[in-house]
Amino acid sequence: MNGFFQHPWSLLKTAGLRIVATMSLLGAVFLAPLAWAADKGVAYNEALFPNVICSGNSACCSGNPTCTDNPAAPSVNRGFYGGFLVGGGVSTNDPIVQTGTAFIPTPPPLPVWAIGEAKNWAGVMAGIHFGYEWSGRQIGCDPRWAILPALEFEGYYLGTQQVGSLNNFDSTDRLPEHLFNYRAPLNIGVLMPNFLVTLHTPLGIHPYVGFGVGTAIVSNAGATSLQLAPPEPGINHFNSNPSVTDWAPAATCRAGLRFDLGNSWYLFTEYKFLAIGATDYTFGPTVYPGHPPTTAWSVHYGTMFEHLGVLGLGCRF
């Protein structure tokens, strides 16, 4: 019971991450039934997105065979669709914080609270998405101009790094300088339900925007923390356990273009802004013969911001 009250923030964070992850998975599970229930029925689409622009407007409809008094939404939507995407970009991240204690021969133990800015770093990504697009609302008299809403679920891998020079400001009274070179390859899995709105045009090019809230799984694959000053060549302070993982909520905004390749296939390109919430990790202690023992190392990443360019190929079912 005492442990419960000693770590309330850790427990709240864990509960919050699990809730976000569950919501992301539920978004995927319920997307297909929701779209199936909506189907392509005129009455349902009319109720959600009433097309009244031409209804009862004789000036608009007169002499135009494509425009009638029927307010039903145009049947230009994709219905169910899916696709593959690849891309890359650059990160602009909040600071990195490394904390721990070194039990040096001269007491008392040396506290470490090393802070540094994360450097911008390139990354690559690849993934899939699937979704359902409704008929939406016609614009003007030509049924090929329309605003089409969609629900989409995407999952993708993002490979990048966290790199920074970390300075232990708390040790300046005992050491003239205490500097670490921090580097951690990251394997990130993103699960993201999205809401999209597409402007369908008769030109075969369709701009769209969207946003989503989901979950990111952030895994450090072989992190290193090398002490540059005082120099300790070849000593990775995380050597007993350099690979750890944490979860975080994530959010994205998207803007792109879709290019038709016939009736079923299409290409798309988009800019994707991805924000991943702060994460915390516990790496192993430093274990080397002749090196002062340490506690396990705690590392905190601030919010990670990814600016990604995406290319993809999709198909309507």
Kindly tell me if the per-residue pLDDT of 25 is higher than 50: no
Q: Are strands 179-200 and 137-138 parallel, antiparallel or unpaired?
A: unpaired
What are the residue boundaries of the structural domains of the chain, listed by start? 2-316
Instruction: Kindly report the three-state secondary structure assignment for every residue of 189-252.
Output: EEEEEEEEEEEECCCCEEEEEEEEEEEEEEEECCCEEEEEECCCCCCECCCCCCCCEEEEEEEE
Among the listed ranges 1-15, 82-96, 196-210, which one has the minimum average pLDDT value?
1-15
Contact indicator for 129, 85 with CB cutoff of 8 Å: yes
Mean pLDDT of 145-169: 96
Mean pLDDT of 175-193: 95
Among the listed ranges 2-11, 83-92, 252-261, 291-300, which one has the minimum average pLDDT value?
2-11
Q: What confidence tens digit (pLDDT) does each residue in 67-120 have?
A: 544 444 446 899 999 999 999 999 999 999 999 999 999 889 999 999 999 999
Q: What confidence tens digit (pLDDT) does each residue in 274-291 have?
A: 999 999 999 999 999 999
Please tell me the predicted confidence (pLDDT) of residue 16.
54
Q: Can you give the pTM of this predicted structure? A: 0.79
Please tell me the predicted confidence (pLDDT) of residue 171.
63
Structure tokens at 106: 């001269």
Residue 93: name the closest of 62, 59, 116 by CA.
116
Q: What percent of the chain has pLDDT over 90?
A: 68
What CA–CA distance (Å, rounded) separates 276 from 248? 6
29 or 204: which carries more pLDDT confidence? 204
CATH topology for 2-316? Porin (2.40.160)
Kindly tell me if the per-residue pLDDT of 308 is higher than 60: yes
What CA–CA distance (Å, rounded) separates 40 from 78? 11
For 42, the 3-state DSSP assignment is helix
